[in-house]
Amino acid sequence: MKKGILVTSTILVLLIVLRPFVLDYLDLLNYNREIENLQIQNPEISAFEDGEYEGRHQVHEIEAQVEVRILSGEIVGIDLHHEHERGYNAEEITRRVVEEQSLEVDMVTGATHSSKVILKAIERALCETEEVYCEEP
């Protein structure tokens, strides 16, 4: 009898102690899957009218809000508000987009997840407008 209570109590304590770790692990798997499946479209920048385009994207704790400025068919600037844990260096990606005039740029080493979220926010700013239709990759 006492042995059964001890075994049951031990199992309950283990479940209570391990539960947060299991939930964190499952959340991490979901986060990684969401980042891995994130696909970025590359719209034809020259097709956009002059103006400012706003977009936002979030994956768990990483969030990017952008304002993309287009003048004469070129991206002339991107203002970025970026919430992140360790991906500060990813903010370099906006400079690369402006230089290349494309969303097909190399990710920032060590900040790949934040880089992808920022690019997705830029894509949304451009592709969720009524002026231009972007095809799914």
pLDDT at 32: 78
Q: What is the pLDDT along the chain (137 residues), one digit of tens a residue?
A: 677 787 788 888 777 877 787 777 777 777 778 888 899 989 989 888 999 999 999 998 899 999 999 999 999 999 999 987 777 788 899 999 999 999 999 999 888 889 999 999 999 999 887 555 576 65
How big is the chain by its Cα radius of gyration, in Å? 22
Question: Dihedral, CA atoms, 129, 130, 131, 133, nearest 10 degrees?
Answer: 80
**pLDDT at site 126:** 92
pLDDT of residue 136: 60
The pLDDT of residue 18 is: 73
Identify the structural domains of the chain with CATH numbers, from first to last: 45-127 (3.90.1010.20)
Which tokens sit at 53? 């385009």
pTM to 2 decimals? 0.79
